[in-house]
């Protein structure tokens, strides 16, 4: 064995299930973590929230560049500026984003119901925002949970398969196989531009078994041509569980099996 088990498992781990699952899992967990952080911030705000009546002082509109699913886009934004007294009567300034209609209707002197953090009156917002914040956090956590619930099982399946395939290569019964084709990977979930080595071999009872290697880029898969021999490792109790030694982890076994032919 000229390759460690860890290295072999890592080579088998590469694939659409692993990278797709890992990506979804990380994205989902990040959303969940972000939701928890925002939820904690909302809870801290609610612990010190006080309400007040503010008066509009001015308004402003302009364009801002924001991220979207289509990349960075320029959007029109509308803001109202206001002042409000805290519980001690001190005046504070605030700013809130509003809709186009609310911005058009607002004028200096209009009253607004706002809420602020009593420990930091500079942090204020429109009263009742907690309802929208709660739904937003629930939606964020739900999306994160959905991605994580899809990604984690996919990554786990890929991990289990890599361990199983590496175990067969490490401990399987060696035999000579014949490459039948190098075919484009036709799996439902796949990385574009990958190929699989198709092969067949014969077990001790004379049964011919077919198998296929892991997805590989053409630069690796094209090392073999139809009709060439390749080392195959299989479970003697279940030959359907087999792996071609595409990573050349057991070249010494292949050399031993070919010795009689070389001698002849």
Query: pLDDT tens for residues 106-122?
Result: 999 999 999 999 999 98
Residue with tokens 């196989």: 177
β-sheet bridge partners, residue 233: 174, 243
Domains in the chain, please, with CATH?
A: 33-139 (2.40.50.660), 172-263 (2.40.50)
Angle at which helices 129-171 and 16-47 cross, to 10° = 150
pTM score, two decimals? 0.66
Which pLDDT band holds residue 262 (cuts at 50, 70, 90)? Answer: very low
E strand intervals along the chain: 49-68, 71-85, 91-97, 111-117, 120-126, 173-184, 194-202, 208-212, 216-217, 229-235, 238-244
Name which of 26-30, 131-135, 247-251 the model is least confident about: 131-135
Looking at residue 74, its pLDDT comes to: 87
Q: Which ranges of 48-128 does DSSP label H, i.e. alpha helix?
A: 100-105
Residues 2, 249: Cα–Cα separation, whole Å: 5
């Amino acid at each position: 064995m000229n390759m460690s088990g860890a290295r072999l498992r890592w080579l088998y781990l590469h694939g659409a299930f692993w990278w797709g699952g890992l990506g979804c899992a990380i994205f989902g967990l990040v959303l969940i973590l972000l939701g928890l952080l925002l939820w904690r911030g909302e809870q801290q705000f609610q612990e010190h929230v006080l309400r007040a009546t503010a008066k509009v002082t001015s308004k402003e509109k302009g364009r801002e560049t924001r991220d979207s699913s289509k990349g960075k886009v320029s959007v029109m934004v509308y803001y109202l500026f206001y002042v409000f007294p805290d519980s001690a009567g001190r005046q504070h300034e605030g700013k809130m984003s509003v809709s186009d209609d609310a911005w058009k209707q607002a004028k200096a002197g209009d009253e607004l119901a706002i809420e602020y953090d009593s420990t930091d009156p500079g942090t204020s917002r429109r009263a009742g925002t907690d309802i929208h914040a709660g739904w937003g956090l629930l939606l964020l956590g739900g999306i994160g949970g959905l991605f994580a619930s899809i990604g984690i099982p996919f990554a786990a399946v890929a991990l289990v398969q890599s361990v199983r395939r590496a175990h067969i290569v490490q401990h399987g019964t060696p035999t000579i196989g014949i490459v039948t084709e190098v075919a484009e990977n036709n799996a439902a979930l796949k990385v574009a531009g990958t190929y699989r080595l198709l092969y067949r071999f014969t077990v001790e009872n004379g049964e011919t078994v077919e198998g296929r290697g892991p997805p590989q880029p053409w630069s690796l898969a094209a090392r073999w041509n139809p009709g060439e021999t390749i080392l195959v490792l299989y479970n003697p109790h279940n030959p359907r569980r087999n792996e071609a030694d595409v990573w050349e982890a057991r070249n010494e076994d292949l050399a031993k099996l070919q010795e009689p032919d070389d001698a002849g």
